[in-house]
């Protein structure tokens, strides 16, 4: 099986032809630069198959493109008028400072960081997002956003601008150590937290983050749960470091339901300076994560549960939704399997994704029953009569749902421009352009960037 995408040269980032080649149960992206030679990298291993995972879509253009096509993808991002998906989530980097300095970092944060954008500048960027894509979901990112003392003002500003869902991307250090901080964020209107959460053992954090952090992560979880802010655990998966911890991460999420609203796995991508191509053994692909979850949870969930996304390109992610049972198990809500059906509008998938995130990733409505545990759960209906199993399930599903997903970000070796054109997660650059996440963070083998650090306000 083969396809004919385009990619970039890992050395010079020049757009070049590429092809997907499937050998046995592995699929590789193969490309050749006239100047720097051939590159070959694994992008898919095993079942579900690469060909069976494809999901056709009818493109959805950005509401207001800020750039036009001149040099071709990925050199015209802004979004350009050839982009095939409007914004589902806009990432707004509110600082480039960080209080951790991880060896693994998209933003290479914390070293020689420029000054933080002012509230007025951030207000202008909120306006640019609204002009480009309407009131999509906002993720405040960085750097580490909690180093800003005016973070609550930024959250309020976003709400005043009409954005209904605001999420914080954080390592959790300040949330864990500063009493009342989570409550102040919640009072300002914060809906959800993407919590860096790489595993359930300190050796994982020592390797990926430079120090022991597991208990700190649990304290941050406790603070957010008490404040009523929904939490999504976000592990960066690195082969040989934490790919054996998938099951324990999932079990912890189940134990912490309903405060934990989901787990969003991110297989490692190689940004920054990598003069030698990372070996294929240093990569973990989406189907390996699906199968690993089934094996490591003893079948609590199954690889067949997962579906391709309705919003971003099919080969970017997978997802499934569950109800956490009173016994600590999982009952699937969403149907699984791949889709080879009639192409659906990309706009339909984006709208559904935005609505799902607002519904699922925020904390359960406090007006609903928050606990259905033990012998009391689901024993009576509203009029005092015994409740049937369906009624109990519906009541449980009102609060105790868990989303399990993964997203494979692309680096200079794996970049597929067809995937990039279908991206719905867009970075808001300092100059007000919206740039697909993988393009904004793209670096050559020598660490040269296309956009990060070059889009000045």
Is 26 within the bounds of a domain? no
Is 374 within the bounds of a domain? no
CATH of the domain at 187: 3.20.20.70
pLDDT at 380: 42
3-state helix, strand, coil in the chain (%, to 5): 30, 25, 50
Is 113 within the bounds of a domain? yes
pLDDT in tens, 365-422: 633 333 333 333 333 444 444 457 777 778 888 899 999 999 999 999 999 999 999 9
Cα–Cα distance measured from residue 407 to residue 268, given in angstroms and rounded to the nearest whole number: 10
Find how far residue 28's CA is from the centre of its chain. Answer: 23
Cα–Cα distance measured from residue 163 to residue 188, given in angstroms and rounded to the nearest whole number: 13
Cα–Cα distance measured from residue 157 to residue 177, given in angstroms and rounded to the nearest whole number: 25
pLDDT in tens, 73-94: 999 999 998 998 888 899 999 9
Cα–Cα distance measured from residue 301 to residue 121, given in angstroms and rounded to the nearest whole number: 45
8 A C-beta contact, residue 74 and residue 316: no
pLDDT at 371: 35
Is 30 within the bounds of a domain? no
What's the domain count of the chain?
A: 1
Tokens of 57: 């879509």
Residues belonging to the chain: 457
Closest residue by Cα to residue 414 from 287, 265, 318, 283 = 283
Our CA angle for 203, 208, 210, nearest 5°, is: 80
User: In 3-state terms, what secondary structure has residue 240?
Assistant: coil
Is 456 within the bounds of a domain? no
Find how far residue 225's CA is from the centre of its chain. Answer: 21
What are the 10-residue block averages of pLDDT along the chain, 457 residues in total? 76 96 96 97 97 84 90 93 89 92 59 86 97 94 96 98 96 98 98 97 96 97 96 97 98 97 96 86 98 98 93 92 94 60 54 62 54 35 53 82 96 95 94 95 94 83
Per DSSP, the residues of 262-307 read EEEEEE----SB-SSPPPGGG---HHHHHHHHHHHTTTSS-GGG-B
Is 370 within the bounds of a domain? no
What is the extent of the structural domain holding 297?
56-364+386-440
Can you give the pTM of this predicted structure? Answer: 0.89
pLDDT at 104: 63
8 A C-beta contact, residue 199 and residue 205: yes
HSE-CB for 262 with a 13 A CA cutoff: 23
Tokens of 138: 């906002």
pLDDT at 389: 72
Cα–Cα distance measured from residue 275 to residue 445, given in angstroms and rounded to the nearest whole number: 5
Per DSSP, the residues of 357-408 read HHHHTSPPPTTS-----GGGTT-B-TTSSBP-HHHHHHHHHTT-EEEEEEE-
């Amino acid at each position: 099986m083969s396809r004919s995408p385009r990619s970039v040269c890992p050395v010079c980032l020049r757009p070049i032809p590429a092809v997907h080649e499937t050998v046995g149960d592995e699929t590789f992206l193969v490309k050749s630069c006239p100047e720097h030679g051939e590159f070959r990298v694994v992008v898919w291993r095993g079942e579900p198959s690469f060909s069976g995972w494809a999901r056709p879509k009818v493109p959805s253009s950005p509401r207001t493109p800020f750039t036009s096509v001149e040099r071709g993808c990925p050199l015209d991002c802004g979004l350009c008028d050839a982009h095939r998906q409007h914004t589902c989530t806009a990432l707004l980097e509110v600082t480039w400072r960080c209080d951790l300095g991880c060896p693994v970092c998209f933003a290479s944060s914390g070293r020689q960081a420029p000054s933080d954008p002012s509230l007025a500048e951030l207000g202008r960027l909120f306006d640019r997002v609204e002009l480009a894509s309407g009131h999509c979901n906002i993720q405040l990112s960085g750097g580490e956003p909690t180093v800003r003392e005016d973070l609550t003002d930024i959250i309020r500003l976003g709400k005043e601008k009409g954005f209904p869902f605001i999420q914080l991307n954080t390592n959790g250090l300040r949330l864990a150590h500063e009493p009342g901080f989570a409550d102040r964020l919640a009072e300002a209107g914060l809906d959800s937290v993407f919590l860096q959460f790489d595993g359930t053992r300190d050796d994982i954090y020592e390797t990926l983050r430079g120090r022991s952090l597991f208990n700190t992560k649990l304290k941050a979880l406790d603070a957010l749960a008490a404040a009523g802010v929904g939490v999504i655990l976000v592990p960066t998966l690195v082969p040989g470091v934490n790919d054996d911890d998938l099951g324990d991460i999932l079990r912890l999420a189940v134990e912490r339901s309903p405060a934990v609203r989901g787990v969003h796995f991110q297989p490692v991508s190689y940004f920054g300076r990598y003069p030698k191509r990372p070996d294929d053994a240093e990569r973990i692909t989406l189907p390996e994560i699906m199968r690993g979850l089934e094996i490591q949870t003893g079948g609590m969930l199954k690889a067949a549960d997962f579906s391709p996304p309705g919003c971003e390109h099919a080969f970017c992610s997978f997802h499934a939704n569950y109800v956490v049972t009173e016994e600590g198990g999982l009952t699937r809500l969403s149907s699984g399997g791949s889709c080879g059906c009639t192409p659906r509008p990309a706009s339909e998938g984006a709208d559904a994704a935005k609505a799902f995130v607002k519904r699922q990733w925020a904390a359960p409505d406090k007006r609903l029953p928050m606990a259905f545990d033990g012998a009391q759960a689901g024993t009576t209906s509203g009029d005092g009569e015994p409740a049937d199993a369906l009624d109990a399930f519906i009541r449980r599903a009102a609060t105790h749902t868990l989303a399990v997903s993964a997203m494979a970000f692309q680096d200079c070796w794996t970049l597929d421009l067809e995937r990039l054109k279908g991206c719905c997660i867009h970075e808001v650059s300092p100059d007000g352009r919206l740039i697909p996440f993988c393009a904004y963070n793209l670096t050559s083998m020598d660490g040269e960037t296309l956009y990060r650090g070059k889009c000045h306000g």
